């Protein structure tokens, strides 16, 4: 929940300039707040930067005051939508079942979901990270076909490393990414598992991006605070090369 229209305009124009050419094989997606989506679509038109939203509801319309539908997001030019971010789980009590409903609706609507999973500090200290992440992945992907799983993105975000300055070591992050890929292989087969993009999110900065992004099972980054300045976000994109 950052950036009003003027601030969004400044950031997006800065990103458009700095990311006029993306490294080979690298994609960049921005997910502004709902109030800045229409502006973002106009500014980013003709650029290599794709547009996504931070959340959505699982119906096209109805008496759900305050919610935003996939139909609305599609009409404004969104291609992606973040679902089940740790803050949605923590503050708004979103469950795996609820996120699963939204993921199915996003896919049916032609949006690519970025589904977030990850454990809290308490869960990591109890050594139940694998159990928690496994339950989340299985719950969020329930009854989603392999052909659709291949297109979506899973973002592993250790909750204890978001906004705290703590960062999972590259090996800690890789271990959970490997777990997730192995789990998808169990559920859908190894060919599908290899196609799924698994991102790491948790205090990703220009200083640590390269080492994280070059782990064998880390395919990208879900960037938080470092995306609020064009220089730092562009540096992370370049580190993915």
> What are the Cα distances from residue 213, in Å, to 71, 141, 161, 239?
33, 24, 16, 8
Taking residue 193's Cβ as centre, other Cβ atoms within 10 Å add up to 21
What 3-state DSSP class applies to 44?
helix
Let me know if 10 is a catalytic residue.
no
* DSSP code string of 132-148: HHHHHHHHHTTT--HHH
Among 58, 85, 119, 177, the active-site one is 85
* Separation CA 220–CA 213 (nearest Å): 6
Among 94, 119, 157, 177, the active-site one is 157
What 3-state DSSP class applies to 49?
strand
Beta bridge partners of 83: 115
Q: 112: part of which helix (H) or strand (E)?
A: strand 112-117
Let me know if 85 is a catalytic residue.
yes
> What are the Cα distances from residue 190, in Å, to 69, 112, 181?
33, 21, 8
* Separation CA 44–CA 47 (nearest Å): 5
* Separation CA 138–CA 142 (nearest Å): 6
* Separation CA 38–CA 200 (nearest Å): 27
* Separation CA 206–CA 167 (nearest Å): 13
Which residues form the catalytic set? 85, 157
């Amino acid at each position: 929940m950052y950036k009003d229209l003027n601030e969004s305009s400044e950031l997006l124009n800065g990103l458009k300039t700095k990311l006029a050419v993306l490294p080979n094989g690298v994609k960049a997606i921005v997910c502004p707040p709902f109030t800045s989506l229409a502006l973002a679509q106009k500014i980013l038109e003709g650029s290599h930067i794709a547009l996504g939203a931070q959340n959505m509801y699982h119906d096209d319309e109805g008496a759900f005051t305050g919610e935003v539908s996939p139909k609305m997001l599609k009409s404004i030019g969104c291609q992606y939508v973040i679902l089940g971010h740790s803050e949605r789980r923590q503050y708004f009590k979103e469950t795996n079942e609820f996120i699963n409903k939204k993921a199915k609706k996003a896919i049916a609507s032609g949006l690519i979901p970025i589904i977030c999973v990850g454990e809290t500090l308490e869960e990591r200290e109890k050594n139940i990270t694998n159990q928690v992440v496994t339950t989340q992945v299985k719950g969020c992907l329930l009854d989603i076909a392999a052909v659709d799983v291949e297109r979506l993105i899973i973002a592993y975000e250790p909750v204890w490393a978001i906004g705290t300055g703590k960062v999972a070591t590259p090996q800690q992050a890789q271990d959970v990414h490997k777990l997730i890929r192995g789990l998808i292989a169990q559920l859908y087969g190894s060919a599908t598992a290899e196609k799924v993009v698994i991102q790491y999110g948790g205090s990703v900065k220009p200083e640590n991006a390269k080492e994280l992004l070059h782990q064998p099972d880390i395919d990208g980054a879900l960037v938080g605070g470092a995306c609020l300045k064009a220089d730092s976000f562009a540096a992370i994109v370049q580190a993915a090369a």
